[in-house]
Amino acid sequence: MKTAIFAHRGSKSNRPENTLSAFEEAMHVGSDGIELDVHLTKDQEVVVMHDEKVNRTTNAKGQIKSFTVNDLKELDAGSWFSPQFRGERVPTLKEVLDLLSDFPGVLNVEFKTDHNVYPGIEEKVVRLIDLYRSNLPVVYSSFNHESLIRMKHIDPSADVALLLWERLADPWRYTEQVGASAQHLWEASALTETSAQLQEHGIKVRAWTVNKPKNMQRTFEMGIDAMITDYPEVALDLRKSFEEAKALRR
């Protein structure tokens, strides 16, 4: 089994994160999956950004939930990263799904509901996914596991994954209780015996955020199901070398 490579917030190392440019690059390098984050605006539109505030990745300040989608579209979401990306806009989830309509890999949608309450965000996201990605793979993740439980009530067939920093005792029990198929574990937790315990119970492990080549190599050696990384092109090259070396040893 090959360890899948998920591009974290798009190709975050060389493009402004969670923008159309970042997602285009993630597709271009051949990522197996793309991870993104969703919030709700003041006028109840689903938009893609990591932080609850626009401060870090735009030229404005304030909570996303205080802006309408038209307000957000006036912001520059690229200059903070590089002058080359001046004028990059905050994308709506609809725009991203349109861009990724032919992307055959896994789309990982993270609900950023662990700090702000966004009533109804799960239903809105499911509606958009049904319109744009009904026959393509999607996994929903969140640190707020209530969001994942709501997802399973909305769509019992939804593929959900627990986002976790820490390792749990008997980690498969809680995962099964929530109805999740995977744990998205912080790198330091994933690179332990916990990953094998989960996999023995049929639960996938995706490690985040794996950026050091030596740790990428360890995920391959351990047979971890996927890594989420800011450097998908580096991980893909290393995986190719790892697979070639493994084939020679057979």
Q: Which residues are catalytic?
A: 8, 50
| Identity at 29, one-letter amino acid code | V
CB neighbours of 38 closer than 8 A, spacing ≥ 6? 46, 47, 48, 93, 109, 110, 111, 112, 121, 125
**Around Cβ 199, how many Cβ atoms within 10 Å?**
17
Distance CA 15, CA 71 (A): 23
Q: Cβ(167)–Cβ(186) under 8 Å? A: no
What sign results for the dihedral spanned by CA atoms 233, 238, 239, 244? positive
In angstroms, what CA-CA distances link 56 with 60, 85, 141, 194?
A: 9, 15, 23, 34
3-state secondary structure of 61: coil
Count other C-beta atoms under 10 Å from residue 248's C-beta.
7
What is the length of the chain?
250
**Rg (Cα) of the chain, in Å, rounded?**
18
Cα distance between residue 44 and residue 228, in whole Å: 29
